A and B are shown apart, each in its own frame.
Chain A
Amino acid sequence: MTLFLTFAINGALQGLLYALVAIGFSVIYRASKVFNIAQGELLVLGGFLVWLTLMEWALPLYLGLPLSLALAVASGWLIERIFFKRLVGEQIFAMVMMSIALLIFMRGFMLVVFGPDVRAFPAIFPAKPIIFQGVMVIQPLLFGGILTVLIAFGLSYFFNRTRAGLGLTAVAEDHRTAMDLGISVRRASQIAWMLGMVLAMFGAVVSMNGNSINFLASGIGFIAIPVALLAGLEAITGMLLAGVLIGVVERLTAGYIDPLIGANFASIFPLLLMLLILTFRPSGFFGWKTIERI
């Protein structure tokens, strides 16, 4: 029973980490209508910014982390300016293609700038797990989970209750209409990418805490896609539930099913789920249902 609880609790926390990355998809989508396939690469870039300030420049945490945050915001702004500025009002297809181009570019860029070496990533959260009555809880994931819940509810409030957030949401509905209403699509897109980059950096801090980083560490971006699709791309708080669901099932599969079949079924489970969602409920469980006039 204690092992089951260990698997379930840490699975839920791992799922919240997926949710944190998936919220990055959501924020960029909600404010710019771009499904950013390169979110995993943004996470690696965010991770390298933290590594740069805390390990390479050896700054203390209270200086290094805010500086990483500032660099992440600047990076998001720069990415938007270079890649997406001219796509305002263009077709979705152009944005998807640009997102793929960004993924390829980022991978090469990080290889050239940071090199191929596997590097030690700083431990920002305490690494020692909490063990209570035989049940073990991973501390970095616990802190990451708390951070994710706070971010999700904060962003949900921003997008649904504030004037600026509702303006961004309008952009996701339709660029042309938003511009006709006097909303600056350019500004919305810039904010979205800066937020997306900050979320990616937080994702890197939680997922790589005390482990290692290299240019190939972007795989978590793809695992987060099923979470985003299960919740619905626009549903920020829905990501929490979707993440927990996927994380728990994945963890229990790894703990109980994989040893029986002798293969890594747990890793394909989220992707299998993604195929089912796309087939039967493309808008996810909490996503917007678009009503189109024919």
Chain B
Amino acid sequence: MKMNQLLLAAGLSAVLMGGTAALAETEFVTPGWADYSGPYADIMPGWEGGRVAVIEWWNANKGKELGVKLTYKGVDGRYDPAQVASLWPGVLSEFKPVLLFGMGGADYAAMNTRLPEDKVPMISPTGGYGFTWAPNPWSFNLRPTLAHEAAMYVDWRHKSEAMTRPLRVVVVASEAAPAWVDTVNGIKSFAVGNPDKLDIVDVIWTTPQPTDLTTDIFAAVSKQIDAVIVMTNSAGSVAVKRALDNVGSDVPLVLGAHNGLTAAGAAIGGMEKLTNTFECAAMAAPVSGSEAAAFYDELHGSYGLETAWDNSTILGVSQGLFIAAIMEEAISQHGVDGLSGEKVREVIINHTVPAAAMHGLTGDMKMNNESSFPLSGLIGYCATVKDGAFAVLDGAVPVPDIPKW
């Protein structure tokens, strides 16, 4: 009897010990820069909602198998380099991250020199910049530059209309953010490299919240232009569209994904007001029936994603998927013990995240050591508004090459 009791106790202990071992999980905190009080506050709920839902999905599926839990911690950097720089030491010491969710230019400006020193790589789902087109990056972007995405439109229009002359465009920009100036420089570089495709007639410099651009657009359309490109923000998109309407012009308006059809449509009082407006981006389009939309439905139905299927949510979901895939590969290559930011960066540079792991939000994602963003193999979409709704015109538009600027 005594022996039986001992055996039972030993068995129970073994089960309990084993169970504990099985339940033990290693936690990695992955902090993320957010903006709830700055220029991108309007699109942040979707963006961060996408990040959180993907982490939940990964923990419930892959993380459970690996005994790893990723914990997301959002930090409001206000898309302000000074704010980001001041918060970073606290984020680093408290969370000890091996990988970081970024937003874009403001984070890069604040942390470009800190990331290599602190050995923490950062992933942003937004476009890269000319000033991040430099070797040995620690900050990575999932998309090419906004200039590349503007060039997508130029290339697509040139081909679809079989044009034999360069497209004459006016670019509306602001010097309020380095990224917006960089976009102008990139578009100029594309024009220099492709004089047969693009002729920049003028650049209109304005403020981030323009009062009235009717005078500028009146002068611009008198120069026989083929398109107006605006890659700043939703307020800029609305101001240019209103100005085009005011002067009775049907010159096409080209927007970026972040200030594009859905965001500008909401800001102007309805997408149906964006006639003859286009958006090109090297990311998934917010349309139903795609693999990416099906994955969104899963996140929406089972992992608490409440925001709509739009560009901001796509930014968060694609960012979350890439980060989860990199963490998964890093754990598989190096194990959980001693996993460092340096090792994670090696994985980012050397590993190709397959399109299957990105659930249709991107194709194969291959970073490199020469630039913060992928330099080849990217495709995207060009879309417009039809019957008041987002409509993809071409879902496989190649991203053109631009000479480095």
A residues sitting closer than 8 Å to B (CB atoms) are 3, 6-7, 10-11, 14, 17, 108, 111, 115-120, 127-129, 136, 138, 140-141, 207-212, 214-217, 219-220, 251, 254-255, 258-259, 262-264, 266-267
Contact = CB atoms under 8 A, between A and B. Distances in A.
Contacts of B339: none
A217 B207 CA distance: 10
A117 B264 CA distance: 11
Q: Which 7 A-B pairs have the closest CB atoms?
A: A116-B41, A264-B205, A120-B269, A118-B267, A118-B234, A212-B238, A116-B42
Contacts of A136: 214-215, 218, 247
Contacts of B174: 264
Given A14-B212, A111-B37, A111-B41, 19 more contacts: A7-B215, A116-B41, A117-B42, A118-B235, A119-B267, A127-B245, A138-B215, A138-B246, A140-B212, A208-B211, A210-B242, A211-B235, A212-B234, A212-B235, A212-B267, A216-B209, A219-B207, A254-B204, A259-B203
Contact of A6 (B211, B218, B245): B218
A41 to B, nearest CB: 13
Interface string B16-51: 000000000000000000001111011010000000
A208 B242 CA distance: 11
Nearest to B43: A116
A221 to B, nearest CB: 11
Contacts of A138: 212, 214-215, 246
Contacts of A254: 204-205, 216
18 contacts: A6-B215, A6-B219, A111-B41, A115-B42, A116-B37, A118-B234, A118-B263, A118-B267, A120-B238, A138-B214, A210-B242, A211-B242, A212-B234, A214-B209, A219-B208, A264-B174, A264-B175, A267-B207
A138 B242 CA distance: 12
B113 interface: no
A263 B268 contact: no
B346 interface: no
B268 to A, nearest CB: 6
Contact of B239 (A211, A255, A263, A264): A211
Interface of B: 36-39, 41-42, 44, 174-175, 202-212, 214-216, 218-219, 222, 233-235, 238-239, 242, 245-248, 263, 266-269
Nearest to A116: B41
A141 B215 CA distance: 11
Contacts of B204: 254
Contact of B39 (A117, A207, A208, A216): A216
Contact of A118 (B212, B238, B246): B238
Contacts of A115: 42
Contacts of A128: 246, 248
Given A119-B267, A211-B212, A266-B205, A255 B219 contact: yes
A207 B216 CA distance: 16
A111 B174 CA distance: 23
Given A3-B219, A120-B267, A210-B242, A259 B234 contact: no
A108 B219 contact: no
Nearest to B184: A262
Q: Which of A211, A217, A220, A264 has the most CB of B within 10 A?
A: A211
A107 to B, nearest CB: 8
A130 to B, nearest CB: 11
A267 B216 CA distance: 14
Contacts of A116: 36-37, 41-42, 44
